[in-house]
Amino acid sequence: MRNSRKIMIAANWKEHFTVSQASIFLNKLESSVRSRQSVEVVLFPNVLTLQPLSVQLDKRKFRLGAQDGHFQDAGAYTGEVSMAMLRDLVHYVLVGHSERRHVFGENDDIAAKKMQAAVRNGIMPILCVGETLQERLAGETNQILHNQVTAGLMHLTAREVAASVIAYEPVWAIGSGESAKPDQAAAAIQHIRTQVEHLHGARTAGLVRILYGGSVNSHNAKAFLDVDGCDGALVGGASLQSHEFASIVEKAFRVHQERLPAHHG
């Protein structure tokens, strides 16, 4: 089943780049990232740059995603951009990123509504889940993951869940330079997949892609991609450097090649 899940390398640019800077950076990426059919590369720029980049983008090489979207399709929500507005521009949207949860106070209920809104508008959601350092030290990692996965998927059908993506991003590893150890990532990813199986069955659990995010760079990417059940990486700071990001994509391609069954001549 694992070989049927396409590896995803996602670049979360966060609150970086003006429109012109993003265009220049995309040019750099297009020259440094090689097109690999077995690796899906998704760029998550800020919302202002989505429209111009959607025109500039080499669609054989990259897909676009939004970093967030509001759960109401329209209405009196000053400053918000709805999933309905994003649907013609992006394939993917991040939901419940730890910065949305911990900087902006979004809870599991909001994440659940955003998951529904994304699916309703034909956008594939990437549900971000993960524990804080305090929660990990208190031995609550599995409970936190259970709660966030259950809430995020509660309004979706098995088919919708199978087409979605889940990103395990321990909050303590984001932007800290302190990544989780591969065995910590492996345990969390296994727990998430088991939770999906409890909710929606073994087939759905075998189809849903699970990524690791949290201080991923070209030096540690392969260790995470080699983790059993890990289907890619959500890359933050390292995605703002074109050669560093291109190196991560190449490592993902090589991991995919290693997974292929040997051909007997």
Handedness of CA 255, 96, 217, 176 (dihedral sign): negative
CATH class of the domain at 2-259: alpha beta
| Per-residue confidence (pLDDT) for residue 29, from 0 to 100 | 97
Which one of the listed residues 70, 169, 200, 250 is annotated catalytic? Answer: 169
Among this protein's residues, is 169 annotated catalytic?
yes
Q: Which position among 97, 131, 200, 250 bears the catalytic label?
A: 97
125 - beta bridge partners? 93
Q: Is 97 a catalytic residue?
A: yes
User: Nearest Cα to 217, choosing from 251, 253, 190, 183?
Assistant: 251
Domains of the chain, residue spans: 2-259
The pLDDT, as a whole number, for residue 1 is 56
From the number of C-beta atoms within 10 Å of its C-beta (0-12, 13-18, 19+), residue 103 rates as exposed
The number of beta carbons lying within 10 Å of the beta carbon of residue 234 is 26
pLDDT score at 23 = 98
Using CA atoms, how far residue 90 sits from 5, 122, 202, in Å, is: 20, 10, 29
Res 9: pLDDT: 98
Residue 2 burial (10 A CB sphere; 0-12, 13-18, 19+):
exposed
| Six token digits for residue 104 | 């902006």
Quick one: pLDDT at residue 261? 73
Ranges in the chain, pLDDT < 50: 263-265
Give phi and psi for 97, each to the nearest 5.
-55, 145
In the DSSP assignment, the letter for residue 181 is P
Q: How far apart are CA 54 and CA 156, in angstroms?
A: 28
Q: CA 116, CA 111: separation in Å to the nearest integer?
A: 9
pLDDT at 262: 59
Q: Are 86 and 66 in contact (CB under 8 A)?
A: yes
- pLDDT recorded at residue 245: 98
pLDDT of 3: 63
Output Rg (C-alpha) for the chain, integer angstroms: 17
**What confidence tens digit (pLDDT) does each residue in 22-40 have?**
999 999 999 999 999 999 9
